[in-house]
Chains A and B, each alone.
Chain A
Amino acid sequence: MDADDRLTADLADDLDGAFDALVVAHQDRLYTIALRMLGGAGVAEEAAQDALVRAYRALAGYERSRIAELRLRPWLTTIVLNRCRSVAARRATRGPRPVSIDGDPNRPLAEPSAPEAAAPTEVAERHAEGERWAARLAALPIPYRAAIVLRHVDGLSYPETAAALGRPEGTVKAQVHRGIALLRTMLEAEARREIEEMTA
């Protein structure tokens, strides 16, 4: 019995008593997925919050047996991806779109975090490297981005990724494949630009 099986058993017995444990167990991964899909910390928190609230309301309407049989990881992932779409659409009607499908890969879409002035160089470099990867990911078309975020950032298996996205496993594998290929193209283009700048 893994942690999620114990959690679904507890949720089936006492939703209100066990729901906090679900939040604690899944909030980081749901927030990560939202952040990598949407780019901004504020929208990501909004989407993750909406997802967990919807999950609670759905569970409150489910029979015990249905809760006990839930596969929490893909189920919650599907909800957060739906909330990401809604939050992005809601923000789009209010102001500048936080998500750009065709974003410039050199411009990080993630909100820049406060500069870590006191951080050792190594940490700062790793941080900068993370920002660059986040920006590359944000530049991918949404279906590829979603597949890679679930498979390689969150670490879902292919069957779980396919279940969360509601697509056949073969399609998801192809999307990860194309996404990785695009990331490599970006890396190569960045490397070429660096060489050009150095030799200019």
Chain B
Amino acid sequence: MTTPLEITDREATALADLTVTAPPSLRTSVLVEVGLADRYGRVDSPLGPLVVAWNGVGVVSVDIAGDDGAFEASHLASTGRPAVPSEVPQRLANAIARRLEGDRRVRIPLDLRGHSPFEQDVWKKALEIPRGEVRPYGWIAAEIGRPKAVRAVGTALGHNPVPLIVPCHRVVRSDGSIGQYSLGGPQNKRTILSAEGLDPEAMEDAARRGERLVGCASTRIVCWPTCHTGRHMLERNRRPFRSLAEAGASGYRPCKICRPVTAAA
């Protein structure tokens, strides 16, 4: 074994003096990357500026932009994590913009830790509703195998932390009325649905007339009124129905794409 050279005091001091302090950005970057702290920043939307929070796991929350201090306090209270103001990375901003334009192919990872499996099931199902279409709460309840949990579905959608990304605005009440919206109230829900090419007033008028489903006389298929497969139906082939049972009695089968159900109100 070689004996190390006896290092001189001057050398030892000079080498020990080469220690430095890490830049403050290092700690934040590490904690954000592993999901123990979040960043937040603003993006534009049809509803005005939004505040988006994210970390290395995914997007944590989306809300109407307001006071930064109030946002940081409520973020800490709801997630247990600090939120640090930042620029929204270009890739994330682009992904959100494309998703708001209705492009479902863009993948936006979400950080839904701390939410119940039931809530996550509801939100994942809402992600399947295409832009320009709506489904009632009862449809989600039926699709996730909890047909009686219609109210719980409504509550879960009200707690959606990532509105617009998870399109809870595309879920309406079983009686056909537009229903509540967590992101600033029902008027915003109408604004977004209109921006997606729907006519909320006409939808509610039809619902008031008792139209829950629409059948096509030539194909004998019955759909949710906004299902895209029925969009090119000739007006003279259009047959409104009050229920799936009524449509069935007239010889119509349910669409395999929008899968209509008769849900409890």
Residue ranges of A at the interface with B (Cβ–Cβ < 8 Å): 16, 19-20, 23-24, 27-32, 35-36, 41, 45, 48-49, 52-53, 56-57, 126, 129-130, 133-134, 137, 148, 152-155, 169-170, 173-174, 176-177, 180-181, 183
- Pick the residue among B4, B29, B30, B56 that contacts A180 (CB under 8 A): B4
CA distance A153 to B12 in the complex (A): 8
Query: Assuming the A-B contacts A48-B22, A183-B11, are A23 and B16 also in contact, with contact meaning beta carbons closer than 8 angstroms in the complex?
Result: no
Assess the A24–B27 pair: CB atoms within 8 A: yes
Q: Give chain B residues whose Cβ lies under 8 Å from the Cβ of A153.
A: 15-16, 18-19
Query: Assuming the A-B contacts A23-B30, A53-B30, A53-B34, are A28 and B18 also in contact, with contact meaning beta carbons closer than 8 angstroms in the complex?
Result: no
Assess the B18–A170 pair: CB atoms within 8 A: no
Query: Assuming the A-B contacts A16-B36, A19-B34, are A152 and B15 also in contact, with contact meaning beta carbons closer than 8 angstroms in the complex?
Result: yes
- Chain B interface residue count, Cβ-Cβ cutoff 8 angstroms: 28
CA distance A5 to B154 in the complex (A): 49
The 8 closest A-B pairs by CB, nearest first: A31-B22, A152-B15, A170-B1, A27-B22, A174-B2, A52-B30, A56-B34, A177-B4
Assess the B33–A49 pair: CB atoms within 8 A: yes
9 A-B residue pairs with CB within 8 Å? A16-B36, A23-B26, A31-B20, A32-B19, A32-B22, A48-B22, A52-B30, A153-B16, A174-B2
Residue B90 interfacial (CB < 8 Å): no
Q: Min CB distance, B210 to chain A, in Å?
A: 53
Q: Give chain A residues whose Cβ lies under 8 Å from the Cβ of B16.
A: 152-153, 155
Assess the B2–A173 pair: CB atoms within 8 A: yes
Q: Give chain B residues whose Cβ lies under 8 Å from the Cβ of A23.
A: 26-27, 30-31
Assess the A152–B12 pair: CB atoms within 8 A: yes
Residue B17 interfacial (CB < 8 Å): yes
Assess the B22–A173 pair: CB atoms within 8 A: no
Residue B25 interfacial (CB < 8 Å): yes
Query: Assuming the A-B contacts A20-B31, A29-B19, A48-B22, are A177 and B2 also in contact, with contact meaning beta carbons closer than 8 angstroms in the complex?
Result: yes
CA distance A49 to B15 in the complex (A): 24
CA distance A16 to B23 in the complex (A): 22
Q: Give chain B residues whose Cβ lies under 8 Å from the Cβ of A31.
A: 20-23, 26
CA distance A41 to B20 in the complex (A): 11
Residue B7 interfacial (CB < 8 Å): yes
Residue B78 interfacial (CB < 8 Å): no
CA distance A48 to B21 in the complex (A): 12
CA distance A180 to B25 in the complex (A): 34
CA distance A20 to B27 in the complex (A): 8
Q: Min CB distance, A187 to chain B, in Å?
A: 9
Assess the A137–B18 pair: CB atoms within 8 A: yes
Q: Give chain A residues whose Cβ lies under 8 Å from the Cβ of B26.
A: 23, 27, 31, 45, 48-49, 52
Chain B window 42-59, contacts with chain A (Cβ cutoff 8 Å), 1 for yes, 0 for no: 000000000000001000
CA distance A148 to B26 in the complex (A): 24
Q: Min CB distance, A190 to chain B, in Å?
A: 13
Query: Assuming the A-B contacts A173-B2, A174-B2, A177-B2, are A28 and B19 also in contact, with contact meaning beta carbons closer than 8 angstroms in the complex?
Result: yes
Assess the A49–B20 pair: CB atoms within 8 A: no
